A = this chain, B = another copy of it.
Amino acid sequence: MADMTIEAVKWIGGTDGVLEIIDQRRYNPAFIKLKIRSVEQLHEAIRTLAVRGAPAIGVAAAYGPVLALQWLTGRPGVPEVLNEIIKACDYLASSRPTAVNLFWALDRIRAKASEVVEDPQTTARGLQAAILAEANAICREDVEMCRRIGENGAHLIRDGFGILTHCNAGALATAGQGTALSILYEAQKRGRQFEVYADETRPLLQGSRLTAWELQQAGIKVTVICDDMAGFLMKQGKIQAVITGADRIAANGDTANKIGTYSLSILAKQHHIPFYIAAPSSTFDLSLESGAEIPIEQRDPGEVIRCTDVPTAPEGVGVYNPAFDVTNGKDITAIITEKGVIERPNTERIHVLLAETAGAVDDAST
């Protein structure tokens, strides 16, 4: 993976630039790049999962206000620019409800804008440049965060391991080389011999479409299975670790991730297989005591009763389509973050790691 060239989210140019994303809605894994030129287009891209994965959504959203400002006409002053930034942030916050990185990134842009306008010398152009710089910082930090998660988790992967993953928590889900898959890329770099089983991840098949493709590109042995095969693999002893990403982690370690993750955590526990979550610290939402408070996005029923756009169920049938579920913190063996590994996560241990390293991180980001 030394030559990882997948760039799921990439800003091209300055304040008049454009956001380029890999369109991840295709069933055919030949990827097409999309140029996003407005905040409306970006909202649609996030909502329809053209850009997806909690960290990538955060990075993409951070550039939204920059795009919004390109559409201001006349010679807007600082108040107009600030107003447009806030409006764009509010609007983008409505694109998807579960992944917290989206809100985290938008909050950073809002906070940066507020900070900059406190200086009476600030110009409209200066404000614009400042929020682009902040978005670029978020993007750069995401790349670094991915790398560190890989380094922090690589020792968990041993020779001969079969590793099960769900959905896509790879380069396609971040600006860098992924979260869960970053650990595998780093383990590969260290010469570990292992193989990966990728749950296809219905309804939208991020596992078979995206993870399988990404691992194949990296030269890692990958086998696609249907989601209902995971338990049987475990029973047969083919799985030594389960690793997934996360969309939001509550203060006690309860973790929202792609629907199906909860089932895997229970199956892993039953088979005494370690169950790991890999996620940046921006995925933690310490304002929520437990996972019961995490809002779960319900998506279009059509995703379930169609596959590759072909109807697969009778018309008029009932459908339930939660995009995420919540894994109990107590069933997670460890959470691997860019700041370190939280083993047997609970409220205290999570608090300690995030607080301990807060200073160091502030240093890193300045």
* Contact residues of A between 219 and 242, Cβ < 8 Å to B: 221-233, 235
Q: How long is the Cα–Cα vector from A267 to B270 in the complex, in angstroms?
A: 9
| Other A-B pairs, 8, CB within 8 Å; known A201-B228, A230-B263, A231-B325 | A27-B310, A208-B305, A212-B313, A213-B314, A223-B317, A224-B318, A228-B263, A235-B326
Q: How long is the Cα–Cα vector from A330 to B216 in the complex, in angstroms?
A: 40
Residue pairs across A and B with Cβ atoms less than 8 A apart, 12 shown, are A197-B320, A203-B226, A212-B317, A216-B317, A228-B263, A229-B321, A231-B262, A231-B266, A232-B322, A232-B325, A235-B326, A263-B267
A22-38 Cβ-contact flags toward B at 8 Å (1 or 0): 00000111000000000
A200-222 Cβ-contact flags toward B at 8 Å (1 or 0): 11110100110011001000011
Among B28, B228, B235, which residue has its beta carbon within 8 angstroms of that of A311?
Answer: B28
Total residues of chain A contacting the partner, CB 8 A: 57
CB distance B267 to A313 under 8 Å?
A: no
For A216, what are the chain B residues with a Cβ–Cβ distance below 8 Å?
A: 314, 316-317
Known: A200-B312, A307-B307. A262 touches B233 (CB 8 A): no
Q: How long is the Cα–Cα vector from A224 to B203 in the complex, in angstroms?
A: 12
Q: Which single residue of chain B is at the shortest CB-CB distance from A306?
A: B308
Known: A307-B307, A312-B209. A228 touches B320 (CB 8 A): no
A260 interfacial contact with B, CB 8 Å: yes
Q: How long is the Cα–Cα vector from A262 to B232 in the complex, in angstroms?
A: 7
A288 interfacial contact with B, CB 8 Å: no
Among B226, B235, B305, which residue has its beta carbon within 8 angstroms of that of A262?
Answer: B235
- The complex is assembled from copies of this chain, and their number is 2
A156 interfacial contact with B, CB 8 Å: no
For A213, what are the chain B residues with a Cβ–Cβ distance below 8 Å?
A: 313-314, 317
For A199, what are the chain B residues with a Cβ–Cβ distance below 8 Å?
A: 228
CB distance A311 to B27 under 8 Å?
A: yes
* Contact residues of A between 316 and 361, Cβ < 8 Å to B: 316-322, 325-326
CB distance A27 to B318 under 8 Å?
A: no
What is the minimal beta-carbon distance from A51 to any residue of chain B, in angstroms? 20
Q: How long is the Cα–Cα vector from A309 to B308 in the complex, in angstroms?
A: 9
A304 interfacial contact with B, CB 8 Å: yes
Q: How long is the Cα–Cα vector from A212 to B318 in the complex, in angstroms?
A: 9
Among B208, B222, B270, which residue has its beta carbon within 8 angstroms of that of A270?
Answer: B270
A259 interfacial contact with B, CB 8 Å: yes
